[in-house]
Structure 1
Amino acid sequence: MSKIAGGIFTSHVPGIGGAIAKGLQQDPYWKPFFDGFEPVHQWLAAEKPDVAVVFYNDHGLNFFLDKMPTFAIGAAAEYRHEDEGWGIAFQRPFEGHQDLSWHIIEEVVASEFDPVTCQSMLVDHAVAVPFELCWPGKEAFPLKLIPIAVNTVQHPLPSPKRCYNLGQAVGRAIESWGGDEKVVVFGTGGLSHQLEGGRAGHINVDYDKFCLRNLAPDPEALLQHDTLDIVELAGSQGVEILNWIAARGALRGSVRELASNYHIPISNTAAATVLLENSDKVHA
């Protein structure tokens, strides 16, 4: 059986790509954020996962306001990154895992979700930035990708509970897969930030730390706020915490935090990185 080794939760601010391209990892503005990935690098080197299942939000690359699926799951043999002008421009493709993708899709539909199935799909900075942070300087990424896009843009948005339940369905699907792959789950985006309007630059440290404090031991605490509450608390883009909530739902074992890092601001955003370990002891 396949195994979910753990989860990586991190901001995907596109400006991080520009910092990587310019070699600013040791710059005082950026260093506290990049330093948070040292334990992640050590854990990945030890665990050597075969597949990354990434919960993220598309920024208009595949879906726009006229056609915005609530959930979309990639089932492609390959995914290519289309740079949006922020600095990370590379031609390396992300190799897909079609068989596991279809298994996840079938099991998620059996759990009464209705995802859009994407046999052709591009990925943007929400996937590319976390991969560059986790495997810096690699000529080829050492694992396969299954992207799962969550609508955090066009209202009505899915509820936190709906996202958490989706993650649980994905976790069950991975656990029931007959292969022997080791899987790492990603939740990307956030934390609190708003890029437009009268609240541009909004950061809510208290809400961010509430999320970080409860993510491992009590993820259902994050479900007490509905989507509009989160927009109010965390900003219109801070609602990307839905990606974290979905990814946390996939970690159905006995979860413990191995590392956590919080740094403000990065490009008007509260940036964070959390590493969770998922044991084989599965909760009912």
Structure 2
Amino acid sequence: MMSISIKTEEDIQGMRIAGRLAAEVLDYIGPFVKPGVTTGELDRLCHEYMTNVQGTIPAPLNYCPPGYTPYPKATCTSVNDVVCHGIPGDKVLKNGDVLNIDITVIKDGYHGDTSRMFFVGEPSILAKRLSEITYECMWIGIAKIKPGAHLGDLGFAIQQHAEKAGYSVVREFCGHGIGKIFHEEPQVLHYGRPGTLDKLVPGMIFTVEPMINAGRREIREMGDGWTIKTKDRSLSAQWEHTVLVTETGYEVLTVSAGMPPPPAFIDPSKNSTVPA
């Protein structure tokens, strides 16, 4: 517990700004996601928007955790059966593809981290449902956040919802604490048992970012050392918000004008910044 940083009022203000900017990159890139565009072109557009328009730094670029090679791009673009960390490149998007675009910006030292699913042209019914259930999973997890709750409560709620729909939860990757450091304690698992793991206290900030597979939960790593795919080649989806634990509940920090609203069954009166 001691290694989880509790954010000051100044930190929280910095994180609100970084969170909004990260979400605004996703607002900006949406119209460019269409058949014929490459993931590399989407990355280039995001990178230019961050550096030239926002004055933010793309956190993934050259990010190098121990045992990895430096990440070569400004964003992650995970298409179809890619679970996470897809490296933008020459891949041309075609009608029916689905992709997750994951954005982390640094502004004045603070990290804002968020991702959304995008449909290229007309998605299949399966892809649409998987994306929708994954979005609900993220919000069901977020809705459990309040002082005194445990991280296991979030994981359990997410896992229940995914498995009830016939899907599986990826175990190897999780949400994380975030602030002036990109990845810090705690680890936010998207499966688990109620009443277990860290107890939430006001001032904690972490991401909720479930990765949900249409098939089995097993994954495989590609030769580039970053890209993770589903082992059975089934579709995977992910959504992500950065969230603050408040005195009474939670506040979503990665908020922008173009972000999709919470699912209808989520009560937004519990927090201060999610548009109802």
Q: Shorter chain as normaliser: what TM range?
A: 0.3 to 0.5
TM-score between both structures, scaled by the size of structure 2? 0.34
Name which structure has the greater RCO, CA cutoff 8 Å, separation 6+.
Answer: 1
